[in-house]
């Protein structure tokens, strides 16, 4: 199947938002999605964007049953390791189910790695749910190591409410800056 | 104990590089540290920095026993990220000299990162910790975070070196 991978444009954000929701529904966390295409437009297409995004597109004659030609995306951003330096973090990789098995996921992943390499990144990192065996195998067969299994690395998170509480502690400290 | 928290500047990179090495020694992975003071200067203090840093500093009279004449500092690195469909802050590393533990400095650094993140519109603070590092795990859980690996089953994956080279080929 013919497909093209290209950088997302601002006008793609509605399609990206649609697919973010599809992915969240699949992961059973649809209620956790708080942002819409407007936040994506603001945060991804400003002077100092917080993320970059690639789109997978098919020609009109191969559009989805609902009429979409934008059928996959990869959303990523740059992070930093104090040991290794520049890294790229793959936040989301998604291909609409009816378009899987055509190399689109691999195409998106490779392009993120290529872009990361151009920016001198030495690592590509991501997280995956333990029950998502298809995704785990997809990444493992392409050389990703599971650091949770091999070195006991755990992902910790402060959600909004606890982040607020943590931040309130800052104003009580004796500090100047 | 009196201490202050401030934004790191380019002159702090020498101290930061030193403490990165010390943290790696503690985590038994010294051979994995590939970046230098110069990398930190270039990557943290250019036009589009890859990270930001904050420093905790004590006055001269409380300096550490290492006696190199410099006021010892702690640091934490953070970056702005989009995570889980929400703007988030991720913190990479935090390191404390043993003689300065128990003074509220770690908590102050974390609080400052959270404050800076919220001011920039972030809704989450994410980071990783090694499960055998009990004192760190306890510290963070006590501050109110959740272990997303234990609670939701998220595994942290990394592709590097040859694997990343191979992946980057079309």
Higher pLDDT pick, B56 / B68: B56
Average pLDDT over residues B30-47: 88
ipTM above 0.85, yes or no: yes
Model confidence over B104-143: pLDDT tens digits? 788 888 888 888 888 888 888 888 888 988 888 998 898 8
Q: Residues with Cβ < 8 Å from B28, sequence gap 6 or more?
A: none
Cα dihedral B37, B40, B42, B45 sign? negative
C-alpha torsion A41→A43→A49→A55, nearest 10: -50
Q: Does A25 touch chain B (CB under 8 A)?
A: no
**Which is catalytic among the residues A73, A76, A89, A139?**
A139
Please give the mean pLDDT across all residues of chain B. Answer: 76
Kindly determine whether residue B137 and residue A154, on different chains, have CB atoms separated by under 8 Å: yes
Chain A positions in Cβ-Cβ contact with residue B170 (cut-off 8 Å):
107, 110, 114
Please report the pLDDT score of residue B86 as a whole number. 29
pLDDT at B97 over 60: no
What local confidence, expressed as pLDDT, does residue B25 receive?
Answer: 83
Region of poorest pLDDT, from A114-118, B40-44, B51-55:
B51-55
What's the DSSP call for residue A36? -
Give the pLDDT of residue B63.
67
Which residues of chain A fall short of a pLDDT of 50? Answer: 173-177
Which CATH number, 3.30.1490.20, 3.40.50.150, 3.40.640.10, 3.40.630.30, labels domain A4-126? Answer: 3.40.630.30
pLDDT at B49: 83
pLDDT in tens, A64-107: 999 999 999 999 999 988 888 899 999 999 999 999 999 999 99
In this predicted structure, the answer to whether residue B70 has a pLDDT above a threshold of 60 is: no
Q: State how far residue B71 is from chain A, nearest Cα, in angstroms.
A: 16
Is A76 tagged catalytic? no
Q: Kindly report the average pLDDT of chain A as a whole number.
A: 91
- Asked if A23 reaches chain B (Cβ–Cβ under 8 Å), the answer is no
pLDDT score at B79 = 29
A30 touches chain B (CB under 8 A): no
Q: Looking at the complex, report in whole angstroms how far the Cα of residue B49 sits from the nearest Cα belonging to chain A.
A: 10
Q: How far is B68 from chain A (nearest CA, A)?
A: 23
Which residues of B are less than 8 Å from A154 in CB distance? 128-131, 137, 147-150, 156
DSSP state of A1: -
What pLDDT, on the 0 to 100 scale, is given for residue A155? Answer: 92
Instruction: Cite the active site residues of B.
Output: 140
Contacts 24+ apart (CB under 8 A), A147-151: A147/B128, A147/B155, A147/B156, A147/B157, A147/B158, A148/B149, A148/B154, A148/B155, A148/B156, A148/B157, A149/B155, A151/B130
Q: Which of A56, A90, A129, A59 is nearest to B168 (CA)?
A: A90
What integer pLDDT is reported at residue A13 of this predicted model?
Answer: 97
At CB < 8 A and 24+ separation, what contacts does B68-75 make? Answer: B70/B15, B72/B15, B72/B97, B72/B100, B73/B12, B73/B15, B73/B16, B73/B19, B74/B19, B74/B100, B74/B105, B74/B106, B74/B109, B75/B8, B75/B12, B75/B15, B75/B16, B75/B19, B75/B109
Domains of chain A: which residue ranges?
4-126
Domains and CATH numbers, chain B: 4-127 (3.40.630.30)
Q: How far is Cα B43 from Cα B49, in angstroms, rounded to an integer?
A: 6
**pLDDT in the model for residue B84:** 23
Residue B60 pLDDT greater than 90, yes or no: no
Residue B73 has pLDDT above 60, yes or no: no
Give every strand in the sheet of B73-83, ordered side by side.
B4-7, B52-57, B73-83, B86-95, B124-130, A153-158, B146-147
Q: CA B154, CA A39: separation in Å to the nearest integer?
A: 25
- Say if CB A57 and CB A71 are below 8 A apart: yes
Phi first, then psi, for residue B100 (nearest 5°) are: -105, 5
Burial class (CB in 10 A: 0-12, 13-18, 19+), A48: exposed
Query: Does B164 reach chain A within 8 Å, measured CB to CB?
Result: yes
Interface test with B, best of A75, A138, A156, A169 (most B CBs within 10 A): A156
- Asked whether the predicted pLDDT for residue B98 surpasses 80, the reply is no
Cα B161 from chain centre: 23
Whole-number pLDDT of residue B139: 87
**At CA A167, angle to CA B82 and CA B37, rounded to 5?**
65
| Chain A residue with Cα closest to B139 | A156
Angle between helices B37-44 and B13-26 (to 10 degrees): 120
């Amino acid at each position: 199947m013919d497909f093209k991978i290209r950088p997302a444009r601002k006008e793609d954000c509605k399609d990206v938002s649609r697919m973010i929701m599809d992915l969240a529904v699949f992961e059973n966390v649809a209620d956790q999605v708080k942002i819409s295409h407007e936040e994506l437009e603001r945060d991804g297409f400003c002077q100092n964007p917080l993320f970059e995004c690639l789109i997978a597109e098919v020609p009109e004659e191969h559009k989805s049953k609902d009429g979409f030609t934008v059928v996959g995306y990869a959303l990523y951003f740059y992070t930093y390791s104090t040991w290794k330096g520049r890294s790229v973090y793959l936040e989301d990789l998604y291909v609409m189910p009816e378009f899987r098995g055509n190399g689109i996921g691999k195409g998106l992943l490779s392009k993120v790695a290529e872009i990361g390499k151009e920016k001198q990144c030495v690592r590509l990192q991501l997280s995956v749910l333990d029950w998502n065996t298809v995704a785990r195998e997809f990444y493992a067969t392409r050389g990703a190591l599971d650091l949770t299994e091999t070195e006991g690395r755990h992902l910790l998170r402060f959600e909004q409410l606890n982040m607020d509480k943590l931040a309130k502690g800052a104003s009580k400290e004796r500090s100047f800056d | 104990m009196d201490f202050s928290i401030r934004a790191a500047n380019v002159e702090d990179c020498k101290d930061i590089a030193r403490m990165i090495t010390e943290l790696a020694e503690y985590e038994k992975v010294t051979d994995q540290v590939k970046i230098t003071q110069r990398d930190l200067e270039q990557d943290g203090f250019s036009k589009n920095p890859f990270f930001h840093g904050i420093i905790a500093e004590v006055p001269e009279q409380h300096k550490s026993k290492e006696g190199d004449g410099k006021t010892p500092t702690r640091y934490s690195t953070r970056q702005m990220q989009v995570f889980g469909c929400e703007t988030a802050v991720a913190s990479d590393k935090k390191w404390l000299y043993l003689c300065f533990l128990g003074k509220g400095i770690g908590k102050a650094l974390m609080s400052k990162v959270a404050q800076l993140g919220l001011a920039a519109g972030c809704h989450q603070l994410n980071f990783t910790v090694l499960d055998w590092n009990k004192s760190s795990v306890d510290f963070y859980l006590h501050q109110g975070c959740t272990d997303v690996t234990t609670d939701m089953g998220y595994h942290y994956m990394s592709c590097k070196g040859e694997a990343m080279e191979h992946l980057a080929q079309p």
